[in-house]
Amino acid sequence: MHRWLLILRHSCFNCFEEHSIHFSNAKGTLGYCAPEYAETMILTKESDVYSFGVVLFEVLCSRHCVDLSYKDCLERDWRQRPLMASVVERLQSALQYQKDFEFKAPEPEGEQEQKPETEPDLRSQKLKETYNPLLDFEKICPPGGSNSLILYTSGAKSMPKTYEDCLSILSLLKGFMVSYQERDVSVHMDFKNELWQILGTQVPLPRLFIKGRYIGGAKEVLQLHEQGRFQPLLAGLPQIISEGESTEQ
């Protein structure tokens, strides 16, 4: 897949020009067409970057282009969107993580028999099996969270940004069919005090903890997911097999 993305990068990044073109009427597919292009009928390099960013969003995240959970690159005002350099940096990072997590293509059966596994390969395999990605995160354990996933949320719609961020993380967890404990601070104020106490400061919601490790808020979690680094953190957690039922892996 990254070969196709690199072709897109070299073919599209080099075609942006420092001028605008005026059309008599706007043409474009809903979700891919930049809002300012549809409203003003003026095609600019920023509207091209918008459309290209939507394609990257779909390919890298496997999500529909009109998913409102992600608004960073899809802001209505182009001045509020990230610069092209930032988009390139994120793309390069995502491609690197994809490369790191790709499985090596299996060798022909005959070659596998003739080529015994060497000692360095065995050592490398053993390290991969024992490595725990959660160790890269700060050790902060909420009450009862040493061997579970705990998500602090808020169901209060009076704060739309917080409410949408909480829904995004909840949707992500449900997609992985992983069991979790949701602690809604809008229902129980004790959860808010508990969170502020363990972090030592007031922070916006949501906040995610996995097996006593502090993962972060919505921005950090979604970035980990885009980079392919979030699912490995869920290893060993109970999986939901049906509504109200879960099983230990």
How high is the pLDDT of residue 240?
83
Spell out, as residue ranges, where the chain has pLDDT lower than 70.
Answer: 1-28, 30, 60, 62-82, 98, 101-130, 242-249
Domain 2-99: give its CATH code.
1.10.510.10
Residues in the chain: 249
CATH 3.40.30.10 holds for 138-247: yes
The three-state secondary structure class of 170 is helix
- What DSSP character marks residue 230? S
> Among residues 85, 83, 31, which one has the least CA distance to residue 58?
31
Give the pairing type, strands 42-43 and 21-22: antiparallel
Domain residues of the chain, as ranges? 2-99, 138-247
pTM over 0.85: no
pLDDT digits (tens, 9 = 90+) for 163-175: 999 999 999 999 9
How high is the pLDDT of residue 1?
43
